[in-house]
Structure 1
């Protein structure tokens, strides 16, 4: 009797739990564990391109594959030795040091998309003793907004785009704490330790120490970190004949995205970095295709810049366990959709459904954040019901996964001909009372130089009495983006047009009014007055847009107007 047959027989029997029924459940669990063990064997994990542990590598049946992994481990050890990561020449007995200063090692293996076998030896920071690091220390990486700013500047100004990789980034930062790791077996030692010299991957403080190291060097060679924009650096200087040179640099751990007004600046930067680090040039601008932070980017000077994750989605979506179809290419609209109550479902496979749902929603959220605002709203709804996978929610999830599969090669496209230099605008929308507990859904789209660089959808933190209140809420939320973007843009544009578009005339009048207006409560009153103050301080213009010409409509409704869908999808090439 299979696991599925056992579950089916249990569900068909509505009677109280009997001894026989309990026995069936136990048998089903045993079968599920056995099935999981079969599916998680080393050979299967390798075929699925999943991460392997050292003991699993030794269990691989194909000796050639096993040797490829072991050769990758040997290469990793050589890199660690070359970086003086630990004192391998002076092993120390385990019982001779304070045990709280010993951090276990973890050896992981996988195969990269390029087919290269990779090994990473890292520290078990999850079990690192709290006395060996400062919990308040943190590291930063280039945010999505920062990446979009860099790419926007590239296309808008027809600048040079390059990509670098700092080899063994963390290993360049000296460690400031006394720590030890157990000597890997390949050294032939038993119960011996190596003292750490460098910030090994996995240590709690490694990210911070590397950030300090690279930031210090970049400042030393003339860069400045841009305030409020994490891991984004700029360098401006006058070259020959007074020509202004600009270099913008975004850092994500060991990946560098470099934007420069002149190609020679990129080459000079590489030379300076190589004086201190081992730098690999991933793309010097000679090829139009880039793989940057999970995005497949195509950049053609004076033509366009596009972003997609087609190859990645072809690899990841089939692993979610849904039946996939290429036929679904229209937005996952749901008419007359009723939000289910958040109640525990009486189902023997509830845990399995929750796990499947959370895994799928996690991937969807990642893709949305990168380049797919078209599914932002529906994913926002699904995220609220990950722990309540009703039949209706699972159908919506399946529909969304199929849509993403059918449109996996869609590209978020910026066209050079659409550029309006110095234009910064936000388009907002709100759907009154369409979420749980009568909260309203709001959304907005952010454009820099008339190119889409950001978007967000969410629910109001309080129920709004009218659509005017809901629209006032989103106007206030979106206006904060001006505070974030405008100071940066003012460094590169002498004149900036600042506009915020809303399709509710009453909300616009309320936010623009100079006279005192009485509100039903302090909460909404403060938001309206804050929007007024933002308009005066930042100088943006609040304008009206017709409801049927508002692309942000797609971020707030299950079934947006067809004209708005058409307008919204102009952001994509397919």
Structure 2
């Protein structure tokens, strides 16, 4: 929770203010989750999220669509590395005037003891438009770095400069990166890290619920871990 609150502050996600007359604050709260590392091990995280179901279309948001990569593209890029954009949504500016409650446990009052709220300058998990604003932010940056969006799959980007080739597949905040040599791969990682807070998850072992086992002559894909976790969740394991 401390790490999440620090990320909110470091990314200039909000400014503290009193709620203007006639405005309503979108509710907020903590969500706790267990995510998977690329090797299938667990990592725990806490997210401060907004209650997007209380947003009003035309007031708090407009368009919400954001693309998701085709699984065929994922299969093509299996011999690659995985990068995760830490707190991705917090990098994406929003245009709407949105207020939300402060995170429980991290509340601040005004000097007059008046209740303060966050006026959001960046997206948060839970907002209806967050997926779209993050995707647009990443698209704009990749485009500015010379990457071209694949017309057959809008979540695949490629760049070719002389003999250097690199392909990036986007799955929300997870990126699969393929390059034709280690230097190009290192340069792309550095490029992404200069803009976003990145986490290197290493070679592809686990991605979007799929386990990848790389052997000399083939790559095996299964959902064994995913199925076992479902059985465990519903107490169906023997």
The reply to whether TM is greater than 0.5 is yes
The residue aligned with 1:183 is 102
**Corresponding residue for 1:297?**
212
Equivalent-residue separation in structure 2 for 1:209 and 1:188 (angstroms)? 28
Aligned partner of 2:6 in structure 1 is: 78
CA distance in 2, matches of 1:115, 1:163: 16
Q: Equivalent of 1:107, from 30, 33, 48?
A: 30
2:120 aligned to which of 186, 193, 196:
196
**Which one of 91, 100, 103 corresponds to residue 17 of structure 2?**
91
User: Which shows bigger deviation, 211-220 or 112-121?
Assistant: 112-121
The answer for unaligned runs of 5 or more in structure 1 is: 1-72, 155-160, 239-243, 325-574
Q: TM-score, normalised by structure 2?
A: 0.87
In structure 2, what is the equivalent of residue 146 of structure 1? 73
Q: Is the 8 A contact 1:162 1:266 kept in 2?
A: no
CA distance in structure 1 between the partners assigned to 2:209 and 2:104 by the alignment: 34
Cα gap change, 1:323/1:277 in structure 2, threshold over 3 Å: closer, same or farther? closer
Show the counterpart of 2:220: 306
Q: CA deviation at 1:323?
A: 7.5
Give the structure 1 partner of residue 89 of structure 2. 170
Number of the residue aligned with 1:317: 231
How far apart, CA to CA, are the structure 2 residues paired with 1:137 and 1:185?
Answer: 27
3-state SS of the aligned residue for 2:96? coil
Partner secondary structure for residue 185 of structure 1:
coil
Alpha-carbon offset, residue 201 of structure 1: 1.2
**How far off its partner does 1:188 sit?**
4.2
Q: Give the direction of change, closer, same or farther, for the CA distance of 1:258–1:206 in structure 2 (3 Å limit).
A: same
Is the CA contact (8 Å cut-off) linking 1:182 and 1:191 kept in structure 2? no
**CA offset at residue 322 of structure 1?**
5.2
**CA distance in structure 1 between the aligned counterparts of 2:46 and 2:34, rounded to whole angstroms:** 9
Deviation of 1:245 after TM superposition, in Å, equals: 2.7
Query: What are the superposed Cα offsets for residues 210-232 of structure 1, whole Å, 9 maximum, x if unpaired?
Result: 11111111111111000031211
| 1:148-196 deviation per Cα after TM superposition (whole angstroms, max 9, x unaligned) | 2323xx4xxxxxx111011111111111111111122322446421111
Distance 1:314 1:185, change over 3 A: closer
Q: What is the distance in 2 between the residues matched to 1:119 and 1:110? A: 6
TM-score by length of 1: 0.38
1:127 to 2:50 alignment? no
Question: 1:411 maps to what in 2?
Answer: none
The RMSD of aligned alpha carbons is: 2.1
Deviations 1:480-521 (A, max 9, x none): xxxxxxxxxxxxxxxxxxxxxxxxxxxxxxxxxxxxxxxxxx
Partners of 1:319 and 1:183 lie apart in 2 by 31
Q: Secondary structure at the match of 2:76?
A: helix
SS in 2 for 1:174: coil
Higher strand share: 2
Which structure's residues are more often helix, by fraction? 1
Structure 2 residue runs without a partner (length 5+)? none
Which of 145, 159, 163 is residue 221 of structure 1 equivalent to? 145
Question: Any idea what the Cα deviations from partners look like across 1:19-56, whole Å, max 9, x if unmatched?
Answer: xxxxxxxxxxxxxxxxxxxxxxxxxxxxxxxxxxxxxx
Alpha carbons of 1:206 and 1:318: their partners in 2 closer, same or farther (altered >3 Å)? closer
Structure having greater relative contact order (Cα 8 Å, sep ≥ 6): 2
Instruction: Point out the structure with max Rg over C-alpha.
Output: 1
For 1:183 and 1:97, the matched residues in 2 are separated by 18
Q: Deviations over 1:424-461 (max 9, x none)?
A: xxxxxxxxxxxxxxxxxxxxxxxxxxxxxxxxxxxxxx
**What is the Cα deviation at residue 246 of structure 1?**
2.1
Q: How does 1:104-503 map to 2 (within 5 A)?
A: 104-112=27-35, 114-130=41-57, 131-134=59-62, 136-151=63-78, 154=79, 161-186=80-105, 187-189=107-109, 191-238=115-162, 244-283=163-202, 285=203, 290-300=205-215, 302-320=216-234
